[in-house]
Structure 1
Amino acid sequence: MRETFTAPRARLARGLIKQHPGAFVGVLFIALLLLASLVAPLPFDPTGTDSASSLVGPGGTHWFGTDGTGADVFSRVIDAARIDLSLALAGTVLSLLIGVPLGLAASTKGKGSERLVRGLDAFQAFPLLILALALVSVSGNKLYMVVVAIALINVPRYMRLLRSEVLSIRESRFVEAAIAMGASPRRLMVRHLLPNVWGVILVQTSLTIANAIVVIASLSFLGVGVSAPTPSWGGMIRDGAGNMSSGEWWIATFPGLAVLLCVLAFNQLADAIGDRTARTHR
């Protein structure tokens, strides 16, 4: 019995890896990065400084070089993953918990859903990134406000996506049959509509994490959110940008690559989930 269940799962895993190697590599990269940031011993103190070792290029001792204060860039890049990815995941979960119910509510018929959609349109008229920047700044760079800022930007995307998907599914025959059989609005939503949009929700969740990483890096680059001496990818890029002209390229390049690779990894995962969902519904 054990072989009966294990073999199909192994074949499915091999098939997914073969069809979407980029997603597999991306998930592996994120997992290793998180593992390294949480449990692996770092070669140097990420918040420590050493004026005698400032602006040392990448080499055997300092793999990614050092910054202007002598801090080890590799240790700071790895340690920054812990806070940046944690904030991105927390902001995505909050966006999911708020955006999905509101999107489902906006897809129902009635005056309440119309008012919700109009309120969404009015809310999206504001430049959300600037509004998030203002909120985090006013709060005194509290990290929980970074999570709120991510939700502020991404909740409208969940709402619009879910509303669009549910409205299209409502025209399906199986939904009409469920209504004809007397299914209540709650049962219709939970048993018939929500299971058919989970694939879309997962795709949007992967994209939201990628967007959240960019938002966190942008806020840190502008000097809000994660405050020094705590490492953050955006703050490291800001600190190293001024050294690019004098040849110290590594200070900003390696944290920039971390942001790029993480965003690429979650986008690849979103593509794989979307492709898998499309195959399932064929």
Structure 2
Amino acid sequence: MTCWETINAYALRSIGIGERLLPRDDFTLCQQFTLIGSGMIWNLYYGVLAIGIGFFFASALAVAKGSTNRWLRKPAEWFIFVFRGSPLFIQFFFAYFLFLSLKQAGIMPWLTAAQAGALIVLILNTSAYSAEIFYGALRAVPKGDVEAADAYGLSGWPRFKRIIWPTMLRLAWPAYTNEAIFLFHATALVSFSGFPTWGQRGDALYYASYFADKTFNPFVPYPILAFYFILLTLTVITIFGRVNKRLNRHLPQERRQKMRLRMNLIR
């Protein structure tokens, strides 16, 4: 099988399109690049949806945590504390057994599938971390901006929408970019979470582990996996960097927020 035939056969295998059987012997670099790249479709699925949904949930949590109403503030504080205080893998573990119990009771059986259950866990986890970032930015909004809005007669929702929320995003965006990068990296944990993927096709780490087990050589598939995640990270940096420039476009050059990427060594 040529490399082009391999790509045609396996490029979309992770979503159930193409060759059903995995190669058993004579593994080539093309097969490994193609199948691990195919698995990245699931990592993109988890990451993009978790960021897209979690962004709005995190914004609501940040506002609730900053509220003077204790019935809004306390639940938000505890939610953020629990999901930031426990490891992501443990959250996957408990969520899977909770969803499995619901399935056995005949309630929402689809939650045990990775594309639903694992996605929910990622959304909740990134919402907690992002909410803390947004809350810190919310507290850092200059009082002068709020006072100027009051002077123009803006209050309530119009003031929040036009003044507070855009300023909060501008201040939080560099740190939020790091959270987005880490979230995409965290999608690799889904393989070990216990959640079965649709059709048992697997994500990128699943295929990398398959080749490492079959060839007894982890120094080929895992660097390939790292290569794909580096490309993904560069893509996230590029997209979020453009958003950062737009958020700061009204400021003088010397006052614009710089993007600083920091390693998340401990989660």
TM over 0.5: yes
Return the offset for 1:230.
1.4
1:184 to 148, 151, 155: 155
Within the alignment, does 1:147 sit opposite 2:119 as a pair?
yes
Compared CA separation, residues 279 and 151, structure 1 to 2 (3 A): same
The match for 1:49 is: 21
Greater CA deviation, 231-240 or 92-101?
231-240
What TM-score does the superposition give when structure 2 sets the normalisation length?
A: 0.69
Taking the aligned partners of 1:215 and 1:118, their CA distance within structure 2 comes to: 23
> Which string of whole-angstrom CA distances, capped at 9 and with x for unpartnered residues, describes residues 75-103 of structure 1?
32332232221221111111012111221
The match for 2:230 is: 260
> Which string of whole-angstrom CA distances, capped at 9 and with x for unpartnered residues, describes residues 45-98 of structure 1?
3343366x614233xxxx2xxxxxxxx323323322322212211111110121
Aligned-pair Cα RMSD in Å: 3.2
Taking the aligned partners of 2:174 and 2:73, their CA distance within structure 1 comes to: 26
- Structure 2 letter corresponding to 1:143: Q
Compared CA separation, residues 165 and 225, structure 1 to 2 (3 A): farther
Q: Aligned pairs, how many?
A: 227
The match for 2:104 is: none
Structure 1 runs not aligned, ≥5 long: 1-40, 64-71
Taking the aligned partners of 1:265 and 1:78, their CA distance within structure 2 comes to: 15
What TM-score does the superposition give when structure 1 sets the normalisation length?
A: 0.66
Does the residue aligned with 2:86 lie in a helix, a strand or coil? coil
1:130 to 78, 85, 90: 90
Compared CA separation, residues 107 and 154, structure 1 to 2 (3 A): same
Taking the aligned partners of 1:276 and 1:180, their CA distance within structure 2 comes to: 26
Does the residue aligned with 1:191 lie in a helix, a strand or coil? helix
Whether the aligned pair in 2 keeps the contact of 1:204 and 1:270 (CA below 8 Å) is no
Whether the aligned pair in 2 keeps the contact of 1:199 and 1:274 (CA below 8 Å) is yes
> Which string of whole-angstrom CA distances, capped at 9 and with x for unpartnered residues, describes residues 207-252 of structure 1?
44422322221121455353664141121232233356x4464333
Compared CA separation, residues 238 and 223, structure 1 to 2 (3 A): farther
Taking the aligned partners of 1:136 and 1:81, their CA distance within structure 2 comes to: 22
The sequence identity of aligned pairs, in percent, is 12
1:250 to 207, 212, 220: 220
> Which string of whole-angstrom CA distances, capped at 9 and with x for unpartnered residues, describes residues 171-202 of structure 1?
42131132355433222211211122333565
Structure 2 runs not aligned, ≥5 long: 1-5, 14-18, 101-110, 256-267
Within the alignment, does 1:165 sit opposite 2:137 as a pair?
yes
Whether the aligned pair in 1 keeps the contact of 2:134 and 2:169 (CA below 8 Å) is no
